[in-house]
Structure 1
Amino acid sequence: MSLRVFWVIILLQCAAVQADIKGSAGAAREWRLANEQLIIDRFAGLLRIPNVAADTVNIRRNAKHIQEMLGEAGMQTQLLELDGANPAVYGERLVPGAQTTVLIYVHYDGQPVNPADWASNPWVPVMRTGMVEQAGEVVPMLAPFDPQWRIFARSAGDDKAPVVALQSALMALDEAGIAPTVNIKVFMEGEEEAGSPNLRAMLEKHRDVLAADLWLFCDGPAHQSRRWQLVYGVRGSYGFDLTVYGPNRPLHSGHYGNWAPNPIALLSDLIGTMRDTNGNVYVDGFYDQFRPLSEAELAAIARTPRMDEAMMRELGIARPETEDRLEIAISRPAMNLRGIYGGDVGASARNAIQPSASASIGLRLVPDLTPEHLRTVIEQHVRDQGFFVTGQDPTPEQRQQHGRIAKLSWSKSGGYPAYRASFDEPLAVRISDILMDLSGGTLIQTPTMGGSLPIYIVGEVLQVPVLILPVANHDNNQHGANENLRLQNLWDAIEIYAAVLTGL
């Protein structure tokens, strides 16, 4: 065969693949246009089931409901059980002759809610014309739907949308007579928002069932530009509460001020030695163990639309903590203050020196940086500032022996490290080619998402590459009040799943 003939064959094959994925996406779009009311009704039905991980009764209701949804899409399903754990929903659809197996990960549990903070009941889905913060109006949940409308409920954005999107994509392909080209498996976790405490044990117990060539995590927000994105990694997560001490009871600040140690002042000074207002961390060793971005990853970021100015306007801030663009900033380790408490303010303020003051501090890790290393260097830093470090409330004897005492209460989960897949991973290349073609060349490739997922556990236990394919709009109020999903993001997800599952 001549070289010219070889390249002609390759080009024809590429053209055939492009036609196939666009045909699949087109079929999914046609099915969606004819079934929007059905899709929204199914989504709303799933969102009505409360899904806080600690609510084991309703968690199991969610799992059973999802089983039924996947069964309607032609999947064989079962609940994967583990003593003391919420069930994981497993489904598979094996395709004769398929050489590749893709497993789609979703979590069906959600964050706890405070209904008083919501504009509507978080367990009763509501359709609005826009965000609550922008005076979006409630409209009937009846077709036809404007694609810019949003459905509001807990887990609308994080992370129940992929369940209905996958179900819809498979049903659309079936109706069009288009068969997937890969074996499809799904693993839907019920404890992700609780820190995935049983994920490792679950994967180890069901290792053979969960074997695949690629895990595709369908979680997290899409890019702020609303362009599709394929994400190759996430930051790790760890955290601790820091408490410092003053007198053993509240003291009148007039009688004892300038004499008794003030724990709020001690805490403020200590935090100031650890981090500045530009996000720089001054703990020796904090930046010692992390993998810098590669040239390919930096090039991908350079091709990404810079959204900093738009995000500053949207969030009402005059300047960010750093001059670096957002994508570069979140590729570094971070120390963030989650909360601080020492006394009351406003009408409840008292002229008193408090016995203690506390801060909750979150850490974000990047590849090659471990929770154990950060714990070691942070505790040493606190000691270097003259504090006696303990993991328990100090005894009366310790309070008299040490002028400065700091209790560090680390996350019971032990935290978890970051994960980042290579841009050169063969299946990553194939998926990025599919999405690049489907998006008309506008796909964004993101080396690292700012948030955290327990992806490293999957890599360690199953030795399989992992990619993230986000679904939700970036402004979905994830983890907060008035969580929502923009309908166009759901419509896009259906087409993306159809294309990927028939193009690999």
Structure 2
Amino acid sequence: MTNEAINYLKENEDRLLAKLNEFLAIPSVSTDSIHKPDVAKAATFVADYLNEIGFSEVEVQETKGHPLVYGAWNGAGADAPTVLFYGHYDVQPADPLELWKSEPFKPEVRDGRLYARGASDDKGQVFMHLAVFEALMKTDGKLPINVKVCIEGEEEIGSENLYEILNDKKQQFAADFCVISDSGMVANDQPTILYGLKGFTGLEFTLHGPDNDLHSGVYGGAVRNPAIAMAHLLASMKDQNEVVQVDGFYDDVEPLSTEERQLINEVPGEDYTSLGIPETVSEQGYTAMEHTMARPTLEINGMFSGYQGEGTKTIIPSSATAKLTCRLVPGQDPEKIQNLLVDHLKRHVPAGVTLEIKREPLSAKAYKVDPNNPLIEQAATSYKQGFGKDVVYVRMGGSIPVVEWIDSLFQIPVVLLGFGTPGDRLHSPNESFPLENFTKGMETLVYYYKQVKKA
């Protein structure tokens, strides 16, 4: 019956692509209030499709912001596993519009890629699952396992209301495992198991000096320059070997095992020099890929002070500001790390300036699932059946807070089945998705949902 579902997808390819294009044409930009009706329209599209597929329960759940779509099909019986499929239908703004080669909300196929905002992140990947559910229902008359669906409209604005909903409705969303397709592969046509994500925390701080900018000739040498004080303070936080100097920063870091280092080193290497840099830098004792995937980082994301215009303005600026974030690994607690950063800044702030700190309210713990978990092994087998290649195993340097929330609230494995590629241009003009990955990705999902029935 597996082949019947795959044949159904092939026979209905044009119709399904047209339906996806209808979905992509909705400008569901969650961050812009002008598009609030469009966001609601996208939620209705998802709910209508779930009803068409034959889900027994479908709800558009209102939130304090944009709606969440819930669906359930429990016809596989109590002995079959239940999967929670999570995705999001909201998208990033399309700006700057002048850099798009085609209109962002008028999907267009060029050179084997479908161009539109949301084609990869995440409407395209969400639609793949829905189309597979349709194919299975149409050919088998049922789904091989019980399915719950959680598709939200606020992921691109930090999933502002999702945690509260999941926490308040634990029973409704309860499942044996979760599947998310909101990620990608390390290279074109290279199936990739993403088994870990980094956590996140950060802060912004300002050093205040005089109550107004001062003439540097009159006051230089007597008044502390906040920009120079900032440079000293930032330099105290990390040395030239990329080792963070904040006391206690590494205390709870889970060691990187020999087995994991081997998995990481089997991943095709990225050509970092294509980024216009002369060479890579990484934490002493670790490769660039090991550091990115599996070691914590501290980065300056922005800093500003003083005159920014053309030419020279000879002043001592009244203040200097920097924004910092940390990507965290298993074992590290975001709140604890944030407190360590604050303590370090307070201990090392130079004389002559005062310190103001704004903590980043959004944080998340790191997530990692055992690569030998049967659900992961089955995903690897399904990828090979769909793409004809063995998978590589990676941990990502980025953060997806919902993964950690689902892990902590439901204590279930989260399987990250991503089908995007490095060339998809997420969040940028000319976002696209390779049509070949739609085909191979949906075949992979058919194999996976059929296979986990045996788990």
- Same fold by TM (over 0.5)? yes
- Quote the Cα distance in structure 2 between the aligned partners of 1:79 and 1:178: 22
User: Which of the residues 334, 359, 370 maps onto 1:410?
Assistant: 359
User: Which of the residues 297, 308, 321 maps onto 2:260?
Assistant: 297
Q: Please name the residue that 1:39 is paired with.
A: 16
User: Which of the residues 308, 313, 316 maps onto 1:353?
Assistant: 316
Scaled by the length of structure 2, the TM-score of the pair is: 0.88
SS in 2 for 1:299: helix
- Quote the Cα distance in structure 1 between the aligned partners of 2:429 and 2:319: 30
- Quote the Cα distance in structure 2 between the aligned partners of 1:62 and 1:376: 40
Relative to structure 1, is the Cα distance of residues 430 and 204 closer, same or farther in structure 2, using a 3 angstrom cutoff? same
Q: Please name the residue that 2:419 is paired with.
A: 471
Q: Please name the residue that 1:6 is paired with.
A: none
Whether the 8 Å contact between 1:341 and 1:358 is mirrored in structure 2 is yes
Whether the 8 Å contact between 1:118 and 1:482 is mirrored in structure 2 is yes
Whether the 8 Å contact between 2:281 and 2:288 is mirrored in structure 1 is no
Q: Please name the residue that 2:301 is paired with.
A: 338
Whether the 8 Å contact between 1:82 and 1:202 is mirrored in structure 2 is no
Relative to structure 1, is the Cα distance of residues 176 and 48 closer, same or farther in structure 2, using a 3 angstrom cutoff? same
Relative to structure 1, is the Cα distance of residues 203 and 311 closer, same or farther in structure 2, using a 3 angstrom cutoff? same
Relative to structure 1, is the Cα distance of residues 490 and 337 closer, same or farther in structure 2, using a 3 angstrom cutoff? farther
Relative to structure 1, is the Cα distance of residues 57 and 344 closer, same or farther in structure 2, using a 3 angstrom cutoff? farther
Counting only pairs closer than 5 Å after superposition, residues 44-443 of structure 1 correspond to structure 2 as 44-54=21-31, 55=33, 56-79=36-59, 81=61, 83-97=63-77, 99-116=80-97, 118-119=99-100, 123-127=104-108, 129=110, 146-147=111-112, 149-153=113-117, 155-177=118-140, 179-224=142-187, 226-276=189-239, 279-305=242-268, 307-308=269-270, 310-313=271-274, 315-322=275-282, 324-345=287-308, 347=310, 350-387=313-350, 403-413=352-362, 415-443=363-391
Q: Given residue 424 of structure 2, which amino acid in structure 1 is its aligned partner?
A: N
Whether the 8 Å contact between 1:128 and 1:152 is mirrored in structure 2 is no
SS in 1 for 2:42: helix
SS in 2 for 1:208: helix
Q: Given residue 273 of structure 2, which amino acid in structure 1 is its aligned partner?
A: M
Greater displacement, 293-302 / 374-383: 293-302
Instruction: Report deviation, 1:423.
Output: 2.4
Whether the 8 Å contact between 1:343 and 1:349 is mirrored in structure 2 is no
Q: Given residue 410 of structure 1, which amino acid in structure 2 is its aligned partner?
A: R
Relative to structure 1, is the Cα distance of residues 35 and 262 closer, same or farther in structure 2, using a 3 angstrom cutoff? farther
- Quote the Cα distance in structure 2 between the aligned partners of 1:125 and 1:312: 35
SS in 2 for 1:347: coil
- Quote the Cα distance in structure 2 between the aligned partners of 1:499 and 1:60: 33
Whether the 8 Å contact between 2:43 and 2:60 is mirrored in structure 1 is no
Whether the 8 Å contact between 1:233 and 1:467 is mirrored in structure 2 is no
Relative to structure 1, is the Cα distance of residues 111 and 271 closer, same or farther in structure 2, using a 3 angstrom cutoff? farther
SS in 1 for 2:450: helix
Relative to structure 1, is the Cα distance of residues 344 and 79 closer, same or farther in structure 2, using a 3 angstrom cutoff? farther
SS in 1 for 2:302: strand
Relative to structure 1, is the Cα distance of residues 249 and 169 closer, same or farther in structure 2, using a 3 angstrom cutoff? same
Instruction: Report deviation, 1:364.
Output: 0.7
Instruction: Report deviation, 1:65.
Output: 1.4
Instruction: Report deviation, 1:277.
Output: 5.7
SS in 2 for 1:71: helix
Instruction: Report deviation, 1:192.
Output: 2.1
Q: Please name the residue that 1:449 is paired with.
A: 396
- Quote the Cα distance in structure 2 between the aligned partners of 1:121 and 1:438: 31
SS in 1 for 2:66: coil
Q: Given residue 279 of structure 1, which amino acid in structure 2 is its aligned partner?
A: E
- Quote the Cα distance in structure 1 between the aligned partners of 2:236 and 2:356: 17
SS in 2 for 1:358: strand
Instruction: Report deviation, 1:187.
Output: 0.8
CA displacement 1:235-259 (0-9 Å, x = unmatched) = 1111211211222112233333343
Q: Given residue 43 of structure 2, which amino acid in structure 1 is its aligned partner?
A: A
Relative to structure 1, is the Cα distance of residues 31 and 96 closer, same or farther in structure 2, using a 3 angstrom cutoff? closer
Whether the 8 Å contact between 2:122 and 2:182 is mirrored in structure 1 is yes
CA displacement 1:230-286 (0-9 Å, x = unmatched) = 212211111211211222112233333343322222212211111246533211111
Relative to structure 1, is the Cα distance of residues 442 and 325 closer, same or farther in structure 2, using a 3 angstrom cutoff? farther
SS in 2 for 1:222: coil
- Quote the Cα distance in structure 2 between the aligned partners of 1:275 and 1:291: 20
Relative to structure 1, is the Cα distance of residues 243 and 226 closer, same or farther in structure 2, using a 3 angstrom cutoff? farther
SS in 2 for 1:478: coil
SS in 1 for 2:41: helix
Q: Please name the residue that 1:140 is paired with.
A: none
- Quote the Cα distance in structure 1 between the aligned partners of 2:95 and 2:389: 42
Q: Given residue 23 of structure 2, which amino acid in structure 1 is its aligned partner?
A: L
- Quote the Cα distance in structure 2 between the aligned partners of 1:405 and 1:355: 11
- Quote the Cα distance in structure 2 between the aligned partners of 1:440 and 1:43: 26
CA displacement 1:306-353 (0-9 Å, x = unmatched) = x23x3433x233312226042443211111222222134452653332
Instruction: Report deviation, 1:113.
Output: 4.7
Whether the 8 Å contact between 2:227 and 2:320 is mirrored in structure 1 is yes
Q: Given residue 119 of structure 1, which amino acid in structure 2 is its aligned partner?
A: W
Whether the 8 Å contact between 2:280 and 2:288 is mirrored in structure 1 is no
Whether the 8 Å contact between 2:261 and 2:290 is mirrored in structure 1 is no
Give the percent of matched residue pairs that are identical in Structure 1 and Structure 2.
28
Q: Given residue 30 of structure 2, which amino acid in structure 1 is its aligned partner?
A: A
Q: Given residue 464 of structure 1, which amino acid in structure 2 is its aligned partner?
A: I
Whether the 8 Å contact between 2:61 and 2:69 is mirrored in structure 1 is no
